[in-house]
Amino acid sequence: MYDKNENAICKVCQIEIEKLKNANLIDEEKLKIFKNPRRILEANFPITRDDGKIEIIQAFRVLYNGNLGPGKGGIRFHQDVNLEEVSELAFIMSLKTALTELPFGGAKGGVKINPKDYSENELEKISRGYIQEFWRYLGPKIDVPAPDVNTNPKIMGWMRDEFEKMIGEKSPAFITGKTVADGGSEGRDKSTAMGAFYIIQEKYKNIENKSEISIAIQGFGNAGATIAKLLFDAGYKVVAVSDSKTGIFEKENGLNIDEIYNFIYSGKTKKRLSEWDKNEKISNGDLLELNVDILIPAALGDVITFDNAEKIQAKEIIELANGPISPRAEEVLLKKNILIIPDLLANSGGVIVSVFEWEQNLKNEHWDLETVNEKLKTKILKAYEEVKNEAQEKNIDWRLAAHKIAVEKITQKSE
């Protein structure tokens, strides 16, 4: 019988599995495999910094579940990385790949550093060091990494190179999110935002005048800035965006995202929103509490917690980040009838196109952007319809519906 595991590594995973149990949605016996991650790797490896000093770098790779295939999931570089968080993110990845019917399990990696504190040379050493520690447990048929918070195609390139050195042969399908020149897929860079954009377009297809729909976006990194631009270009009213330090806000007419995007991204180095002086400033906390139609958290996890949940006024939240709402906050939001489109659906565009990249690498093919986006749209909207229908039929929230579908797909395969 399923019983609560007090020593669970990931508490959020436990809570989510408990919810499925309590709603009698899944056979309890089958839930046992989700108690803890299947495999946990931790390393503490040294690098020599530019000043000659030695520093120990803490790194993780967690495979949460591998029933449906090799592990899949990004590697993040962040000062707050820890085993519990990496496990939670690997759990979300397991459900995400299952929900979107990708032939993969779920994994995640993390390196506990603030990348802003390291030179390019040091970041390369860290990226290569990560692969030297974990390469035996990685590979196109074992576990396939990708970018996540603060990692990018350049880092994927270093990692690919190091992996190929370790195994002594070319293996582009070992990692996804590479530059197109290095075997990456067209459209992978924008795919996380593009997937969410297709969902929003589908959901609001009957509203002709998109400027009636107001949107606030937290995060102006790859996912946040790209979704802001896609929505702005399609005519939606984006009233606020923010980076980790500053938000900007224009309630009446909405922000001119084209101008802001160019200002931030077209110089030699990326600028900060604090340098943008044309609109009113707003704090990240206040941005989350704006009275908008759609709120899109597109940065880090746990930004809506029990402390601010009651103050959230958005009608709908689309989780472009992984885990932005804590379970206790979610209870409050659901009571307020706020619709939450959960991470494993809303941000699955990234991993979907990652798997297209893997497939192209294995088949030695190169698909054009139109083909990639068409396939992405078909796949994500299928998952969207499935979750929507399940939520309606069972009268449950969208996360629970998505989790039920994913867990069913995972547990259909026997151990």
Between helix 369-394 and helix 191-203 the angle, nearest 10°, is 50
Angle at 218 between CA 215 and CA 219, to 5 degrees: 125
CB 63 to ligand GLU: min, Å: 13
Q: Closest Cα to residue 251, out of 224, 285, 294, 216?
A: 216
Is residue 304 within 8 Å of residue 336, measured between CB atoms?
A: no
Q: Which residue is nearest to ligand GLU (CB)?
A: 74
CB 81 to ligand GLU: min, Å: 13
CB 213 to ligand GLU: min, Å: 25
Task: Locate the DSSP E strands across 35-191.
Answer: 39-48, 54-65, 71-77, 106-111, 143-147
Q: How far is CA 105 from the centre of its chain?
A: 15
CB 105 to ligand GLU: min, Å: 11
Residue 84, classified by CB atoms within 10 Å of its CB into exposed (0-12), middle (13-18) or buried (19+), is: middle
Q: Closest Cα to residue 89, out of 404, 383, 347, 388?
A: 347
Q: Closest Cα to residue 386, out of 355, 342, 356, 351?
A: 342
Residues that bind ligand GLU (CB under 6 A): 72-74, 146, 148, 176-177, 322, 347, 350-351, 354
Cβ proximity to ligand GLU: between 36 and 176 the closer is 176
Cβ proximity to ligand GLU: between 221 and 285 the closer is 221
Distances in whole angstroms, Cα of residue 366 to Cα of each of 72, 172, 218, 369: 21, 13, 34, 10
End-to-end CA distance of the chain, in Å? 17
Q: How far is CA 61 from the centre of its chain?
A: 16
Cβ proximity to ligand GLU: between 148 and 289 the closer is 148
CB 146 to ligand GLU: min, Å: 3
CB 415 to ligand GLU: min, Å: 24
Cβ proximity to ligand GLU: between 176 and 361 the closer is 176
Distances in whole angstroms, Cα of residue 24 to Cα of each of 63, 75, 341, 390, 413: 27, 34, 22, 14, 20
Instruction: Name the pairing type of β-strands 54-65 and 214-218.
Output: unpaired
Instruction: Extract the tokens encoding 190.
Output: 């924008």
Among 108, 112, 125, 229, the active-site one is 108
Cβ proximity to ligand GLU: between 74 and 247 the closer is 74
Cβ neighbour number for residue 334 with a 10 Å cutoff: 17
CB 22 to ligand GLU: min, Å: 27
Sheet holding 71-77, edge to edge: 39-48, 54-65, 106-111, 71-77, 143-147
Cβ proximity to ligand GLU: between 304 and 320 the closer is 320
Rounded CA-CA distance 299/177 in Å is 18
409 flagged as catalytic:
no
CB 283 to ligand GLU: min, Å: 26
Cβ neighbour number for residue 302 with a 10 Å cutoff: 16
Cβ proximity to ligand GLU: between 214 and 226 the closer is 226
Is residue 410 within 8 Å of residue 225, measured between CB atoms?
A: no
Active-site amino acid positions: 108
